[in-house]
Amino acid sequence: MMKNACVLIWTLAALSAAEVGSLLERRRQKMSVFSSSSSSSSFSSSSVRSGGICLNGGTTVKSLMTGKHMFCLCAGGFEGKRCETVKHAHCYEGVGLYYRGSVSKSESGHTCKDWDSDTREQYLSSDVNSGRHNYCRNLHYRRRPWCHVWKNQQLVWEYCDIPRCSFEPFPGPPAPTPTEPEPAAEMTCGQRTRRKQMKIVGGTVATVESHPWVAAIFWRSKSKEKVFRCGGSLISACWVLTAAHCFPDGSQDKEHRFSVTLGKNALNESDLIMEQTFRVEEVIVHEGFDNSEGNFNNDIALLRLKPKHGTCAEENNWVKFVCLPPPQQSLPPGATCEIAGYGKERYGLWYKSQYLREAQVNLLNDDVCRHTYYYDNMLTENMFCASRPDWSQDACEGDSGGPLVCEVDNRLFQFGVISWGDGCAKQSRPGVYTKVTNYNHWIQEKTGLTSITAGATFPYK
């Protein structure tokens, strides 16, 4: 039933776009957190607040034909037919941004104080009872759920006594039969230590073990300030794949001002055990990169990392290589893939996510993405589109250059580079990705690397 509903809303979304008109806003680069439809206009024509049908900040999705309620789109932390059930009430996932349980004691045993009206209005409007409670929550991107308590006659904040939800280790590939050894990269690429976190509408905080190939690219200003520039992906020990539009001056961009950090969970925190940081030795922007039409054609670039003591990235639980698919390989429309990055959680926010976030998207048929009500002739043969049927998850500003990966034979292959789009999680405006399989020969020419298929069987051409 849910599957049919998703297919129906996918069709209705296009009808709604026709009613609104086909005028495209000027494309803006998609350098996202993964926007939630409940906090944007993504469902403006097909859903409204529930008026009591959907609980806990849920949104009712209505049929454009009958105007009747079809199903509830639940806010983060809730599930059920009417969004009446709290997910994982006894523990928290990730760093607990979507924890909606009722624990109200701090680690020191103090009782939490009620959240004040300003906090409720700004952060807890979709929470239980609109935030009129004293339950632990993780606001302001701290490490885990917390609350305010009275301690030594002062109101202070403390972390709460809540366990983190357990996870099942990601199953490794079957043991190979004794044959001649493969190159190290082919044996290890595309594997992660930890299964991805529970999917929440609008994306969720992820641990870097779930996406160990994700790279954070920083730029150092003349005032020595270190500024996050773009995402990327580790394709070998000394090479990072990213987007060309991250480098306004092309290959002439001063490489000594760039650095790359691998194994990074949070932009505003450092972990010397997990992270590996390298200076950039060379910036290679594709010679055919062109934004004269506002659509970032050939939006792909490579960064060569500067070795330390003769070596670059070393694989461990937090740092691994992603696999590259064979040339011209494609997956069928509708295939589910993953995106990850440190970008904004919602279009229009002034700040980026401080934590690595992930979302799932489905590949769109090229004919659909080239439809008048989508991107018309803006799409070239070097691009493809991906989105959610309900437009609830997407990349956004700050995610540019990051990977879109798809699982084949228990390994993750990078099929796309996050490139551009019109807004974030916007109806009929899917994310646009650089088609990596069009550039295998270019990557090989610049790096000496070949496609790493790791023995995977690709059932599609």
Give catalytic residue positions.
Answer: 245, 299, 400
Closest CA to 306 of 239, 379, 396, 211: 239
Distances (CA, A) of 450 to 236, 418, 441: 10, 22, 8
Q: From CA 139, how far away is CA 242, in angstroms rounded? A: 31
Report yes or no: 456 and 411 within 8 Å, Cβ to Cβ: yes
What amino acid is encoded at 460 in this protein?
Answer: Y
Q: From CA 269, how far away is CA 97, in angstroms rounded? A: 17
Longest pairwise C-alpha distance within the chain: 70
Residue 250, helix vs strand vs coil: helix
Residue 333 backbone phi and psi in degrees, to 5: -55, 140
Q: From CA 436, how far away is CA 458, in angstroms rounded? A: 16
Closest CA to 78 of 63, 93, 89, 65: 89
Q: From CA 404, how far away is CA 417, in angstroms rounded? A: 6
Angle, CA of 367, 369 and 375, to the nearest 5°: 125
Report yes or no: 431 and 394 within 8 Å, Cβ to Cβ: yes
Q: From CA 17, how far away is CA 162, in angstroms rounded? A: 44
- Compute the half-sphere exposure of residue 109: CA atoms within 13 Å on the CB side of its CA: 0
Closest CA to 320 of 226, 414, 409, 456: 414
Report yes or no: 134 and 155 within 8 Å, Cβ to Cβ: no
Closest CA to 322 of 458, 192, 417, 437: 192
Q: From CA 406, how far away is CA 325, in angstroms rounded? A: 10
Closest CA to 29 of 240, 344, 258: 344
